[in-house]
A and B are shown apart, each in its own frame.
Chain A
Amino acid sequence: MPELSYGEAVNAALHRLMEELPETLVYGEDVALPGGVFGVTRGLRKRYGDRVFDTPISESAILGSAVGAAMFGRRPIVEIMWADFSLVALDQIVNQAANVRYVSGGRLRAPLTIRTQQGNAPGACAQHSQCLEALFLHVPGLRVCMPSTPQDAYDLLVTAVHADDPVLVVENRTLYFGPKEPVTTDGPVRPMGGARTRRTGSDVTLVTWGAMTHRVLAAAEALARDGVEAEVLETPWLNPFDTEAVIESARRTRRLAVVHEANVTGGFGAEVVARVAGAGVALAAPPIRIGAPDVRMPAAPVLAQALIPDAARIIEDVKGLIAGAR
């Protein structure tokens, strides 16, 4: 079992997919000869030749061509360097890719995978910091996942590319160069969906995804030292979403907090809360959402830190949730 960082795990998955599925293509800006701005696509061009190529800075053409190639039997894996840049080509994702199967009554399909990364890193500017998963989750027809560990970075990408629908894999650049972990690289293609119980606890259910998972786990450990046992459910697949796992856990702990890096209004946290409420789960306290306030993201690290939830804020809010229940 190789020890891989998150970025290396993505690379390993791409190698496997290129071997296993001859119809795959990998392309995007700076992905081939340079091997990607984060080094994630390193070595692919050398090994697979013109199935891997660099493109002009033309996101509409990248995504649109992926839709077309996918309709005609290829399985494109395209990279949009920052999730923010997908917005210049939203039409191809929302109006085009997401409609192919539905409108053709299943006669056409667009099995393309969009790899991108999002979130704030210190000093990132306002146009390189957004968390956009809720935007894509509002679009029926798109699958969306957000891995946070090397194993999931590997597994989710393999699953995404094997899927016969458009899938958005949202990575996080703050994770690429993180610690190496043993990764099973020859396992079977896993089904989409499912939650990961990252920690068990009986006092409160914390649902989270993406890079925020690590902060939530740190908060949960600290809470345990203060006598609060939090269950941490990571939901790397947001569509399909494992609603049942969340409901089951919330039923047991009777308290729910959803934590994401994206801002709160219209965030996917609202959807999670709504599903739990809709299932009639009797909670001991009103559920809470923890996320960035509804504001643009500033460049200065001190300003950004004041907005994005960190372990301290998660601890404080969860303690408030528990106190409110008394």
Chain B
Amino acid sequence: MSERRLADLLAMWRIRAFEEKVRDLRAEGTIVGSVHLCVGQEAVPVGACDALEPHDALFATYRGHGWALARGVPAQALFAELAGRASGVNGGRGGSAYFTAAEYGFHGENSIVGAGAPIACGAALAGRHDGSNRVAVSVFGDGAMNQGAVHEAMNFAAAFCLPVVFVCENNRYSELTPIADMVRNQRLADRAAAYGMPGHRVDGNDVEAVRFHVRDALEAAREGGGPTLLECMTERLVGHYIGDAETYRQPGELERIARREPIARLREGLLADGVPAADLDAVERGARAEMASAAERALAAPLADPATAREHLYA
């Protein structure tokens, strides 16, 4: 049991170390443009991806670095993509907000809020015809719950009993605006009932709880039970994007949410179970070393070749 929890800790540390490295590279200008980190939200991708089969399809948002890593996309290829290298996972075409790595069952980030949900329905629909028993997972934020495309996708999936798991990462903010100001019923999982599908609010900072609920939803989907909506309650410990001044935060808010964050929490649990602190520190060190070296190797590669900028438009 503590072995799996150590593996969870490592998986979460890998994401955090990746994101912190990205933050540094963005600050020094090696990475440019808008970057949305998932620091604090690591338990959701780690718990969810653990339960996925290789042929399942995952659709994420621009806050998707953690999902790509949890799905097994190599960190080096992601760093290379962020820094516009030819060796990047999309050869520099995707960038931070639009990673795609189909060979890892990672069918893309998306930087149009809510746009991935209908596409996930299509991946599930295709699975009905190709005999793969594929489940599609659509990940989006709380703010995306107010997008027409998401409402349409949920009804579509429910009406046709499609194997889709809708994972809402409720970090309480849409960019700079609290979700509490934008909806009357703040229990977003309640909306599932209106579509006739199960909906659960999940402690999204508890990797085990996420794993449990995603597993359940995947199983139901595979057995013909149709879609599920999981509202994973979590917090981002950083701004909406790198550079966000976070003026919308309440005084003391960051300190408060830092106490609930998934890595510190799992670490405390493991300590309480008698795992030596030195072992836990080693996990963190290992993850940081891995990411430092992945970044270094990625940055040693040449920039994308401008002469190739028009390639890959058509078959």
Contact = CB atoms under 8 A, between A and B. Distances in A.
B115 interface: yes
Contacts, number: 138
Contact of A303 (B34, B181, B306): B306
A60 B148 contact: yes
B177 A54 contact: yes
A37 B175 contact: yes
B57 to A, nearest CB: 20
A34 B248 contact: yes
B32 interface: yes
A171 B16 CA distance: 36
B313 A296 contact: yes
B177 to A, nearest CB: 5
Interface string B84-95: 110010101111
B32 A122 contact: yes
Interface residues of B, number: 45
A299 B309 contact: no
A57 B113 contact: yes
Contacts of B220: none
A21 to B, nearest CB: 26
Identify whether the interface residues of B are mostly helix, strand, loop, or mixed.
loop
B84 A299 contact: yes
A295 B309 contact: yes
Nearest to B88: A300
Interface string A246-271: 00000000000000000000000000
Contacts of B112: 84-85, 87-88, 127
A57 B94 contact: no
A164 to B, nearest CB: 28
B135 interface: no
Interface string A106-130: 0000000000000001111111100
Interface of A: 29-30, 33-34, 37, 54-61, 84-85, 87-89, 121-128, 293-296, 298-307
Interface of B: 31-34, 62, 84-85, 88, 90, 92-98, 110-115, 143-144, 146-149, 174-177, 181-183, 247-248, 303-304, 306-310, 313
